[in-house]
Structure 1
Amino acid sequence: MFYLAADGAGTTGNALVTFLPFIAMFALLYFLLIRPQQKRTKARNMLLANLKKGDKVTTIGGLHGTILEITDDTVVLRVNDATKLTFERSAINAVTTAAQSAAE
């Protein structure tokens, strides 16, 4: 069934044909899985880096609040008039309304 080339002249072409499906699968996985995940991670890191006082946010647990204080690691949210809660900065899931800047 299988024939071996006696002089080895056809091995370069055969190696390329052999590895082509693996290369195509890696490219497909890269564009369908790896690259979109990198984009989501980059967008989340930008969101967390751009948090500021006055932003209305939602936590990963679904709690809505307004940022009162922010440090490198923690965020203090005002949930209602009397309740302040401290969260890790990474617990912020989304900014629902950005704080108005002083220029506006």
Structure 2
Amino acid sequence: MLLAQDGAGGASFMPILMIGLLFGVMYFMMIRPQQKRRREAEQMQSSIGPGDEVVTIGGLYGIVASVDDETVMLEVAPGVHARYARPAIARVVQKTPADDVPAAESTTSDEVPTKD
């Protein structure tokens, strides 16, 4: 009789171990990758700058005209601007190089436009 009681006490530890193992697997398979994707999206949205071509979560392509703390002004067509919240930017299609500023396309005094 004492032998049967000792064996039953060890079996009650197994379900607790299985539940702990299940939570561990769920953390590494679901929660941790989701946190990584969220950090990458936040980093991408914070690094957006003027001249970058982006896509919104609604599928609208545009070029970033200006950036604010919470909003991004997109030029969706020549002369047409739309304001979006930063989290509405899904991805950056083309990044503008840091030394290439779109407004800096002016001619210097050495360059003289010629007519052909």
CA distance in 1, matches of 2:69, 2:12: 52
2:97 is matched with which residue? 100
**Could you say what secondary structure the match of 2:69 adopts?**
coil
Moved over 3 A (4+): 13-16
Partner AA of 1:79 in structure 2? V
Tell me, yes or no, if structure 1 residue 75 matches structure 2 residue 72: yes
Q: TM-score w.r.t. structure 2 length?
A: 0.75
Q: Aligned Cα RMSD in Å?
A: 1.9
Identity score, percent = 31
The alignment covers a number of residue pairs equal to: 97
Q: Which ranges of structure 1 fall in alignment gaps of 5 or more residues?
A: none
Q: Which residue of 1 aligns with 2:32?
A: 35
Q: TM-score, normalised by structure 1?
A: 0.83
Task: Name the counterpart of 2:112.
Answer: none
Letter in 1 for 2:14: V
Whole-Å Cα distance in 2 between the matches of residues 101 and 15 of structure 1?
62
CA apart distance, 1:16: 3.9
2:38 is aligned with 1:52:
no
Q: Residues of 2 paired with 1:42 and 1:89: CA distance? A: 14
- Between the aligned partners of 1:47 and 1:16, the Cα distance in structure 2 is 46
